[in-house]
Amino acid sequence: MNKPVLPMSSLSLKLPTADRKIEDYRLAASRTFPAKLEGTLNRVAFSAAHVVADPLADNDPWLTSAIDWDRTIAFREHVWDLGLGVAEAMDTAQRGMGLDWPTSLELIQRSVKAAKAKGNALVFSGAGTDHLAVEDAKSIDDVIRAYEEQIAAVEKAGGRIILMASRALAKLGRSADDYAKVYNRVLSQVREPVIIHWLGDMFDPALSGYWGTADLDTAMDTAVAIINANAAKVDGVKVSLLDKQREIDMRRRLDPKVKMYTGDDFNYAELIAGDEQGFSHALLGIFDAIAPAASYALSRLAAGDQAGFHDVLGPTVPLSRHIFKAPTRFYKTGIVFMAYLNGHQDHFTMVGGQESTRSTLHLAELFRLADKAGLLSNPELATRRMKTVLATRGIEP
């Protein structure tokens, strides 16, 4: 059976195409998703949330960050209203790509405070070693001390921890024993179970060879052994390798008490839906950009409506694959652009000047895919803002 074609709207604009032409693009009819969670969820779902830059700050964006704290926290309240948790101060918040540790800690403190005011909304925060410059890390003990410092700071703020992958450990760790030493020591000290983050080198080239080897099969053996040995201290594992079969294999090997949080922004719909042997929870950067649709889809899944879940979430996957295309580390630009199109901020300016990392063609295709998935919450506003961005890049409306 042919899939029905969405009716078209009356809105249109000129968009560039790959053959260097300009097309008249007419928007599809919009979809509307609830602004707050309706029903319940049977998956734990986190949105790794972005930060809103302050475009009027008198700073040098490549060197220092300036955050619009009001808009940044307001976006987190939007996520919480939808029944999703916030994964705070992660790579989606440009951690290590514009956001340093002191600013990250302030973000964590503000977010944890806002979550408590919201009625103990769900928030876990990234603790890593990024205040330790890689060139200054001389030993495994240096890495351990760096982790301990950030963990103590997050716990002092009242936060739960996502244990981030460490660039310093990637540099110094030569074997499974090195990684076991670090994780065993650090996990033995945490107050509450943490989420361990395995971030692939497509997201951060400095993490190449994590777990002491470039061989992913061996790396997984090491990771699973360490996690299962510390299962009482591990709430779950977020895997960001963009390889669905590896995630499935890993979740089947984990201690039953340990959750698998998909970080696969290419295949999340089927991984969350799961199979007869299990499913993945979610900790995803793309859930920042598609939070209302994600919330509604997950509520349909919890209600036993698999078809409704896939009807909503399935069309978002092409957009996510586009936003996270190589070089994947530049995906934050697409996330912030979606926030701008959907009215969560008044500008397309990013910490570190990262709005420049994607081309005009990339942004145009993002607009098309977001429209086709029904993800433009106010199509008139989105169209007007898209025209504004295009005009700054030489394409007149």
In this predicted structure, the answer to whether residue 3 has a pLDDT above a threshold of 50 is no
State which CATH number among 3.40.50.720, 3.10.450.710, 3.30.420.240, 3.20.20.70 fits the domain covering 41-326: 3.20.20.70
pLDDT tens, residue by residue, 379-389: 999 999 999 99
Confidence of residue 8 (pLDDT cuts 50, 70, 90): low
pLDDT tens, residue by residue, 134-148: 999 999 999 999 999
Average pLDDT value for residue range 6-28? 90
Candidates 49, 68, 66; CA nearest to 58 is 66
For residue 115, the tally of other CB atoms under 10 A from its CB is 25
Confidence of residue 316 (pLDDT cuts 50, 70, 90): very high
Q: Which of 73-77, 197-201, 226-230 has the lowest average pLDDT?
A: 197-201
Q: Which residue has the higher pLDDT, 17 or 3?
A: 17
At residue 107's C-alpha, the angle toward residues 102 and 110, to 5°, is 125
Look at the alpha carbons of 195, 159, 104, 336 in this order and tell me if their dihedral is positive or negative: positive
Which are the contacts of 356, defined by CB distance < 8 A and separation ≥ 6? none
Confidence of residue 7 (pLDDT cuts 50, 70, 90): low
What was the pLDDT predicted at 386? Answer: 98
In DSSP notation, 265-289 reads: TTTHHHHHH-BTTB--EEEESHHHH
What was the pLDDT predicted at 29? Answer: 82
| pLDDT > 70: percent of the chain | 98
In this predicted structure, the answer to whether residue 5 has a pLDDT above a threshold of 90 is no
At residue 259's C-alpha, the angle toward residues 110 and 188, to 5°, is 70
Average pLDDT value for residue range 336-365? 97
pLDDT tens, residue by residue, 149-200: 999 999 999 999 999 999 999 999 999 999 999 999 999 999 999 999 999 9
From residue 319, how far is each of 77, 202, 367, 374 by CA, in Å? 24, 18, 9, 11
Confidence of residue 4 (pLDDT cuts 50, 70, 90): very low
**DSSP 8-state secondary structure symbol assigned to residue 201:** T
Number of Cα atoms under 13 Å in the Cβ half of residue 154: 29
- β-partners of residue 45 are 282
What was the pLDDT predicted at 2? Answer: 39
What was the pLDDT predicted at 33? Answer: 96
Distance CA 25, CA 33 (A): 24
Average pLDDT over all residues of the chain:
96
